[in-house]
Amino acid sequence: MRYGETGFNLEIDLSRGNIERVENDPVDTELYLGGLGTNAKIMWDRVPPEVDAFSPDNLLIFSAGLLCGTPAVGCNRTIVTTISPQTKLLAFSMMGGFWAPELKYAGYDKVIIRGRSPSLVYLYINNDKVEIRDATHLQGKGSNETTDLLRQEVKDSNAQVAAIGLAGENRVFFASIEQGRSSASRAGIGAVMGDKGLKAIVVRGTRDINVARPAEFHGLCSEVLQYIKKREDNPIPGVMPILAGLGSPQEMKIHDEKWHTESFMWGNSRVRRKDFWTEEVASEWTQTLENTRTRLISCYNCPMKCGGTISIPGLPTYMMKCFSKLTYTMAAFSDLDFGLKIAQRATEYGVDGFSTPQVMAFALELHENGILTDDDFPEMPSDSEGRFYYLLDKIVRREGIGDVLANGTYWAAQEIGKGAEEYAHNNIKKIEQLPLKLSMLNPIYFLMYCTGEKINITQIEGQFPQMPFPKREQREEFVKDWIQVPDDRFKQYFLDWELRGDNSMPFYPTVEMCCDIVDWQEKMHYIDDALGMCAGLSSFPLKPPYHIHNYPKFISSGAGIDMDEDKLTQAAKRYRTLIRAINVRRGMRREDEKPPEDHWKKRFPELEKDLLDTYYKFKGWNEQGIPTKESLEELSLDYVSEDFRKRGILTGNGDTPAADTPAKEEKE
Amino acid sequence: MGEKKKKIIKTIKVDVDKCNGCRACEVICSAFHAEPKYSSNNPARARVRVIRHPLRDIYIPVYAGEYAPAECMGRDQYTIEGKEYEECAFCRASCPSRDAFKEPDSGLPLKCDMCESDPELDEPMCVQWCLNDALIYETREEEVEEDAVAQQEEVEIGLEALAGKYGLQNVMDAVARMSKKD
């Protein structure tokens, strides 16, 4: 018997209309865990680097995490993996909500989609009944609209629906997959779904998920629940309210937006408004949220309330999560009322809340600076809010300039030319980043920005405080119950970290310490993504309930895989390295690994070089960021090493890469 | 006069305004009632269901009650504070009109037992797992009068009705068979 997982994947070929239920290999689960880990293995095996995002040969994998469907609190994430049209690298966006556990109860760990349907379809999964059904009547419908219609169509209000809106259908490079209160948004995976002609996946299941050692597993879950309770009653002092508790940053709950509105950039990630948060703004925005937010809501089996139901008079109700609360507001130099209103339309269209507002602000900046002209924006309104609605519609429908902008700022700038590249200034690996422009280099964040392959800072940071606490007594207090650290040395790093003086940034934490810290931060995200755990209860917040010390017990007693900290660390390193290998095979090299040029004002080129060199070595990668033969073999990834040798990415007798990397040739 | 008897009334107070729709109550209910305990998980087996319509802001945890062999002759539908609830939304019955509260494999009815177990739990599992306090467990003691005469009368009325429907002989046969089993 399989525990935790079901042991079966669904293989769907949309070109041929073929559906197969295929047993998956438990050995792969042991090596790559599940979720992201086994997704990466499938992508490596079946999607060679020649395959484009919009090729029928590209796979779109919806995977439940290994422990989704068990009572592990907050373990509900769907990990969607494909090749991104925006980065041309691996995209592995995730979503919480209710979809992944439902898939498990239907009897499947993954839905693996290949091919392209000649007309718009949806996939209906109801236990053993799996059908590809016509969806032409849903063409152009919003994501929430589609969900509603499909629930009526299958006559089951408990069915869970993951759907794209018009943006996905029109292959907008930053289209999302929406699922009620959650979405998998980054890197344009909704565009791949649209390219495949797949409007939605409806899933309903009434089967059992078994755990290997029930009493032990239940005990662990209860401990987590008790810890959450305790942690929520005792917020961490000295950090801002949205980061003091657990969960995603509590954007739907908390009204005080001083930090975001005054520290983050407005417009096209340009303008800092240091005295923005006045009492007047605070009271107006508080009122806006109070009047529209009808309820704080959760994902499956989680007591945290990171989402909100937003009901604005005259508009359909929708559910909002996290920071899209402010991204439209700030990009348009507007207010919260506008932000919540346009987010309703954006959610129905199904677009990423980080990229979309920046693309629109970028377009308006090009217009202001004469690179784009009035002719590019026929009949555009004159007010900022009106312009955002106008641009959103143009982009999602790919009309006129919208067709260019729909490819994101990087590709749009390439196409527009005339110096437009300078305005696509906030990207890493071609993806729009959080609008942050800061003064002095933070060495920990430098490494995360450079090397994070989810290419979003929130998907690699966490656990370790963002800044030193001013007083030693505060730091001593903080480390007292810091049980999550893999080793006590991390406590020392933090204890000695000062705001000023010898032990301050950028030279403290030292290069070696930074590598150690970043490796820990990243590792926890990768483990979450294999297990299906929400980062909000694990890798993201300070002092989370899940950590490297209790995870092995969850896996052992839940999935029945004999696990300890070393084995888990090794497994996470294995699929993390495999993801790097997939991207290396697609041409990613050191030159791609850099923060936006203007992210920090004060830069330290020598230190930065040292940081990256040392971190690469620490990770078992060579100076180009390519995993070495030795490190690959140590991780039982010999097949990667062999492939690299064949492709000339690594030379046969060692780990030295060819001087002219394939990536470079391609770019020239 | 009948004698006074003490009876514990167990209540789960449901505050739908506090429900965040996470379905933890369903999750832990199905795990607790699995055999062996906690060995399997399947909300379709839970004895509590959150009736959810997120976009209409409807979240109602409903507990499985009595089994009903037949549908009601009529159905009810409530509108409360402008929210229109689905037909039979608050009904606890496991009945032919809907899928809720039936074992998914056998179709046998499910019923909340307040997590009766030995040793007794402080609170039913669903209440323990609801950190948002949408579910609150309360017990109170009530003195009930057990009137033997009244009870006897009720039994007779019931038997008369059965005899009217099935014939006295059939009822007598059934009673005879039942008494043999004991």
Residue A230 lies in a domain: no
> Quick one: A118 and A45 in the same domain?
yes
Residue A234 lies in a domain: no
Residue ending a domain, choose from A321, A354, A387: A354
Take residue B42 and report the two structure tokens written for it.
Answer: 């399947």
Take residue A94 and report the two structure tokens written for it.
Answer: 């995730």
Residue with token string 């002209």:
A373
A246/chain B closest Cα distance in angstroms:
14
| % of chain A exceeding 70 in pLDDT | 97
- Using an 8 Å CB-CB cutoff, list chain B residues near A311: 57
Helices (H), A532-637: 551-559, 565-585, 605-619, 629-634
Flag whether pLDDT at A471 surpasses 90: yes
A71, A305, A317 ranked by CB distance to B31: nearest? A71
Helix (H, G, I), strand (E, B) or coil at A318: strand
> Quick one: A124 and A263 in the same domain?
no
> Quick one: A548 and A597 in the same domain?
yes
Q: Is the dihedral of CA A365, A366, A367, A368 positive or negative?
A: positive
> Quick one: A448 and A561 in the same domain?
yes
How much is the average pLDDT of A64-78? 98
B40, B51, B129 ranked by CB distance to A209: nearest? B40
Euclidean distance between CA atoms B25 and A186, whole angstroms? 32
Search chain A and give the residue with CA nearest B19: A297
> Quick one: B80 and B167 in the same domain?
no
What CA–CA distances, in Å, run from B20 to A178, A342, A433, A587, B52?
19, 25, 31, 45, 10
> How confident is the model at residue A664, as a pLDDT?
43
How much is the average pLDDT of A302-331? 95
B20, B39, B43 ranked by CB distance to A210: nearest? B39
Contact A632, A655 (CB under 8 A): no
What CA–CA distances, in Å, run from A381 to A107, A167, A349, A376?
51, 22, 21, 13
Per the CB < 8 Å rule, is A214 touching B57? no
> Quick one: A373 and A421 in the same domain?
yes
> Quick one: B90 and B121 in the same domain?
yes
> Quick one: B50 and B110 in the same domain?
yes
Euclidean distance between CA atoms B54 and A173, whole angstroms? 29
Which stretch of A318-332, A459-473, B162-176 has the lowest confidence by average pLDDT? Answer: B162-176
> Quick one: A426 and A476 in the same domain?
no
B162/chain A closest Cα distance in angstroms:
39
Residue A649 lies in a domain: no
For A221-236, the pLDDT digits (tens) are: 999 999 999 999 999 9
- Using an 8 Å CB-CB cutoff, list chain A residues near B131: 225, 228-229, 232, 303
> Quick one: B43 and B122 in the same domain?
yes
A357/chain B closest Cα distance in angstroms:
25
Residue A668 lies in a domain: no
Contact A435, A269 (CB under 8 A): yes
How much is the average pLDDT of A504-521? 98
Q: Determine the structural domain holding residue A614 and report its residue range.
A: 438-629
Q: Choosing among B29, B35, B39, which should be mutated to test the A contact, i.e. which has the most A CBs within 10 A?
A: B39
> How confident is the model at residue B99, as a pLDDT?
87
> Quick one: B104 and B133 in the same domain?
yes
Residue A638 CA, distance from chain mean position = 29
Residue A217 lies in a domain: no
Could you give the number of structural domains in chain B?
Answer: 2
Euclidean distance between CA atoms A163 and A348, whole angstroms? 10
Cα Dmax for chain A: 68
Q: How many pairs of residues across A and B have Cβ atoms under 8 Å apart?
A: 101
Take residue B74 and report the two structure tokens written for it.
Answer: 């009529």
Q: Choosing among B27, B123, B126, which should be mutated to test the A contact, i.e. which has the most A CBs within 10 A?
A: B27
B146/chain A closest Cα distance in angstroms:
41
- Using an 8 Å CB-CB cutoff, list chain B residues near A298: 20-22
- Is A11's Cβ below 8 Å from some Cβ in B? no
CATH value at residue A370: 1.10.569.10
Per the CB < 8 Å rule, is A70 touching B41? yes
Euclidean distance between CA atoms A276 and A263, whole angstroms? 10
Which residue type occupies A616?
A: Y
Q: Choosing among A301, A306, A309, which should be mutated to test the B contact, i.e. which has the most B CBs within 10 A?
A: A301
> Quick one: A387 and A467 in the same domain?
no
Residue ending a domain, choose from A371, A402, A432: A432
For B71-118, the pLDDT digits (tens) are: 998 888 999 999 999 888 999 999 998 889 999 999 999 999 999 998
* Chain B residues within 8 angstroms (CB to CB) of chain A: 20-24, 27-28, 31, 34, 36-45, 51-57, 59, 86, 104, 128-132
Euclidean distance between CA atoms A159 and A508, whole angstroms? 51
Instruction: Residue B179: count other Cβ atoms within 10 Å of its Cβ.
Output: 8
> Quick one: A118 and A193 in the same domain?
yes
Q: Choosing among A76, A105, A250, A347, which should be mutated to test the B contact, i.e. which has the most B CBs within 10 A?
A: A105
Which stretch of A219-233, A493-507, A577-591, A645-659 has the lowest confidence by average pLDDT? Answer: A645-659
CATH value at residue A163: 3.60.9.10
B40/chain A closest Cα distance in angstroms:
4
For A25-66, the pLDDT digits (tens) are: 999 999 999 999 999 999 999 999 999 999 999 999 999 999
For A257-314, the pLDDT digits (tens) are: 999 999 999 999 999 999 999 999 999 999 999 999 999 999 999 999 999 999 999 9
- Using an 8 Å CB-CB cutoff, list chain A residues near B42: 105, 206-209
> Quick one: B80 and B115 in the same domain?
yes
- Using an 8 Å CB-CB cutoff, list chain A residues near B34: 208, 214
- Using an 8 Å CB-CB cutoff, list chain A residues near B22: 298-303
For B120-129, the pLDDT digits (tens) are: 999 999 999 9
Contact A84, A188 (CB under 8 A): yes
Which residue type occupies A333?
A: F
- Using an 8 Å CB-CB cutoff, list chain B residues near A309: 54-55, 57
Per the CB < 8 Å rule, is A214 touching B86? no
Helix (H, G, I), strand (E, B) or coil at A165: coil
> Quick one: B43 and B82 in the same domain?
yes
Q: Determine the structural domain holding residue B122 and report its residue range.
A: 3-143
Residue A550, C-beta contacts closer than 8 angstroms, at least 6 positions apart: A220, A223, A224
Which residue type occupies A9?
A: N
> Quick one: A192 and A255 in the same domain?
no
Residue ending a domain, choose from A384, A403, A432: A432
Search chain A and give the residue with CA nearest B32: A218
- Cis peptide preceding A662, ω within 30 of 0: no
Euclidean distance between CA atoms A533 and A545, whole angstroms? 11
Beta bridge partners of B63: B48
> Quick one: B138 and B154 in the same domain?
no
Which among A123, A325, A99, A62 is positioned nearest to A205, based on CA atoms?
A: A99
Per the CB < 8 Å rule, is A208 touching B41? yes
How much is the average pLDDT of A532-557? 97
Per the CB < 8 Å rule, is B42 touching A318? no
Residue A239 lies in a domain: no
Indicate the pLDDT class of residue B153, thresholds 50, 70 and 90. Answer: confident
Contact B64, B47 (CB under 8 A): yes
Helices (H), A399-547: 401-405, 408-416, 443-451, 472-480, 489-495, 511-531
A214/chain B closest Cα distance in angstroms:
5
- Is A239's Cβ below 8 Å from some Cβ in B? no
- Cis peptide preceding A443, ω within 30 of 0: no
B33/chain A closest Cα distance in angstroms:
12
> Quick one: A23 and A91 in the same domain?
yes
> Quick one: B127 and B166 in the same domain?
no
> Quick one: A406 and A543 in the same domain?
no
Residue A95 lies in a domain: yes
> How confident is the model at residue B2, as a pLDDT?
58
> Quick one: B111 and B96 in the same domain?
yes
Residue A222, C-beta contacts closer than 8 angstroms, at least 6 positions apart: none
Which residue type occupies A269?
A: S
Q: Is the dihedral of CA A555, A561, A566, A571 positive or negative?
A: negative
> Quick one: B90 and B166 in the same domain?
no
For A606-665, the pLDDT digits (tens) are: 999 999 999 999 999 999 999 999 999 999 999 999 999 999 999 865 555 555 444 444
> Quick one: B33 and B113 in the same domain?
yes
Which among A416, A339, A319 is positioned nearest to A370, based on CA atoms?
A: A416
Could you give the number of structural domains in chain A?
Answer: 4
A310/chain B closest Cα distance in angstroms:
9
> Quick one: A289 and A312 in the same domain?
yes
